Amino acid sequence: MNTNRILAVDDEWNMRNLIRIYLTKNGFHITEAKNGHEAIDLLETHSFDLMILDVMMPDMNGWEICAKVRETSQIPILMVTARTETKDKVYGLMTGADDYVVKPFDAEELMARVFALLRRSNALEIANLQQIPQMIAHQELVMDPERRQVTVNDHPIELTIKEFDVLVLLAEHPQRVFSREAILERIWGADYSGGERTVDTHVKNVRLKLRDGGLSYSPIQTVWGIGYKFQKPADAK
SS3 210: helix
Written as one string, the DSSP assignment of 58-124 is SSS-HHHHHHHHTTT----EEEEES---HHHHHHHHHTT-SEEEESS--HHHHHHHHHHHHHHHHHH
Q: pLDDT tens digit string along 148-198?
A: 899 999 999 999 888 999 999 999 888 889 999 999 888 888 767 677 888
Position 39 scores a pLDDT of: 93
| pLDDT attached to residue 174 | 84
Is residue 9 within 8 A of residue 51, CB to CB? The reply is: yes
pLDDT digits (tens, 9 = 90+) for 77-91: 999 888 767 777 777
Considering the four listed CATH numbers 3.40.50.720, 3.40.50.2300, 3.40.1190.10, 3.40.190.10, the one that applies to the domain covering 5-131 is 3.40.50.2300
**Domain spanning 136-235, CATH architecture:** Orthogonal Bundle (1.10)
Q: What b-and-e string marks burial along 184-197, b requiring 16 or more CB atoms within 10 Å of the CB? A: beebbeeeeeeeee
CB-based contact 155:142 (threshold 8 Å): no
Domain with CATH 3.40.50.2300 in the chain: 5-131
Q: Is the pLDDT of residue 134 over 50?
A: yes
Instruction: Report the DSSP pairing between strands 149-152 and 141-144.
Output: antiparallel
Going by C-alpha positions, the residue among 31, 92, 87 that lies closest to residue 64 is: 92
**Where in the sequence of the chain do the CATH 1.10.10.10 domains occur?**
136-235
* pLDDT the model gives residue 221: 93
